[in-house]
């Protein structure tokens, strides 16, 4: 392709060899080392690609669609072309070679980093902090829940999964392009910076002495700028991690379930703060 078409109607089939070098390079972005070398991540499926094109068009390097996907998602192709992005039409075999989870559409997107001090400069009211969360599906779902609750950022502290992992990107369902995600920060450093910026740091853990939403909890305190810290899906937060927080809060279990999974717990906590902040 020598120039950018002006509309989806002007797109022509340019990729028909699933073994082409370009196709291999896109497919390789499922690996962390390839993403690091390229400074890019792979975005798969119409929902995530649409949000990338809509909210971060300047980061979209290339958009790839099958002919069938173009018919179903002409709006995405049109928006990408309007934003001056490269859009390529490929065969089903090419898109399948790029990603089995593509549903006929993928994008290669610049990977960008943001520092915590940039987030704090905007005076955030609500932040989710994940400590040593390893499962990409959990991390992506928490990013999506934080976005839905109106949080201002997500921090991945300690040995967390890489947020550019394709499973994280898919699970976030586009939310990765809606709010800042800060990564590679030791939890103790993150907590110190959050507290210095005036945020109240709450650790969500079954060992909490305060129960969310029950007598003894201060509902007005939830309306203050807050950062919720949630731990590893298998072992939660260590005693040392809990000691960093201003308060350790437990979510009540009224039924027979042993516990809540990480994403559900994050949703409960974030929405409790979001509701309090909006009704203060």
- pTM to 2 decimal places: 0.93
Q: Edge to edge, what strands does the sheet with 60-66 contain?
A: 13-15, 86-90, 60-66, 105-110, 40-44
Contact 106, 230 (CB under 8 A): no
- The helix/strand/coil state of 6 is coil
Residue pair 53/107 in contact by the 8 Å Cβ criterion: yes
**Residue 262 token pair:** 């990480």
Cα distance between residue 21 and residue 89, in whole Å = 16
Identify the CA nearest to 152 among candidates 194, 203, 110, 186. Answer: 194
Tokens of 79: 């928006």
pLDDT of residue 216: 54
Convert the pLDDT of each residue in 189-244 to its tens digit. Answer: 999 999 999 999 999 998 888 889 875 556 667 889 999 999 988 888 999 999 99
On average, the pLDDT of the chain sits at 93
Q: Is the pLDDT of residue 46 over 90?
A: yes
Summarize the confidence of residues 96-116 as an average pLDDT.
Answer: 94
Share of the chain above pLDDT 70, in %: 96
- C-alpha 82 chain-centroid distance: 25
Q: Confidence class of residue 1 from pLDDT cuts 50, 70 and 90? A: very low
| CA dist., res. 249 & res. 267, Å (int) | 14
Nearest-angstrom CA–CA distance, 252 and 163: 30
Q: Give the per-residue pLDDT at 101.
A: 84
Q: How confident is the model at residue 258 (pLDDT cuts 50, 70, 90)?
A: confident
Contact 149, 248 (CB under 8 A): no
Query: pLDDT higher for 209 or 28?
Result: 28
Using the predicted structure, report yes or no on whether residue 2 has a pLDDT greater than 90: no
Mean pLDDT, range 134-154, rounded to an integer: 96
Distance in angstroms (rounded) separating the CA atoms of residues 261 and 276: 23
Of 147, 133, 125, which Cα lies nearest the Cα of 267? 147
Distances (CA, A) of 239 to 155, 242, 243: 20, 5, 6
Instruction: Output the pLDDT for position 217.
Output: 57
Does the pLDDT value for residue 49 go beyond 90? Answer: yes
Residue with tokens 């437990």: 250
Domains of the chain: 8-110 (3.30.1330.30), 116-278 (3.40.1280.10)
């Amino acid at each position: 392709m020598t120039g950018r078409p002006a509309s989806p109607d002007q797109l022509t089939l340019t990729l028909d060899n699933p073994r082409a070098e370009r196709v291999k390079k896109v497919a390789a972005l499922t690996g962390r080392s390839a993403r690091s070398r390229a400074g890019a991540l792979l975005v798969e499926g119409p929902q995530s690609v649409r949000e990338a094109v809509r909210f971060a068009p300047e980061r979209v390097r290339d958009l790839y669609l099958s002919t069938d996907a173009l018919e179903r998602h002409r709006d995405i192709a049109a928006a990408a072309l309007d934003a001056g992005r490269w859009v390529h039409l490929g065969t089903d075999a090419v898109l399948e070679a790029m990603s089995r989870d593509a549903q006929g559409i993928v994008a290669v997107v610049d990977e960008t980093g943001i520092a915590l001090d940039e987030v704090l400069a905007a005076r955030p009211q609500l932040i989710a902090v994940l400590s040593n969360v390893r499962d990409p599906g959990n991390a992506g779902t928490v990013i999506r829940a934080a976005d839905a609750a109106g949080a201002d950022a997500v921090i991945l502290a300690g040995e967390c999964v890489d947020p550019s992992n394709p499973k994280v990107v898919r699970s976030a369902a586009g939310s990765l392009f809606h709010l800042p995600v800060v990564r590679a920060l030791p939890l103790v450093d993150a907590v110190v910076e959050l507290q210095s910026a005036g945020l109240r740091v709450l650790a969500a853990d079954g060992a909490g002495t305060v129960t969310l939403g029950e007598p003894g909890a201060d509902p007005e305190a939830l309306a203050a700028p807050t950062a919720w810290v949630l731990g590893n899906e298998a072992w939660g937060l260590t005693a040392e991690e809990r000691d960093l927080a201003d308060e350790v809060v437990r979510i009540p279990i009224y039924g027979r379930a042993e516990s809540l999974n990480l994403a559900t717990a994050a949703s409960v906590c974030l929405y409790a703060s979001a509701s309090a902040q909006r009704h203060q």
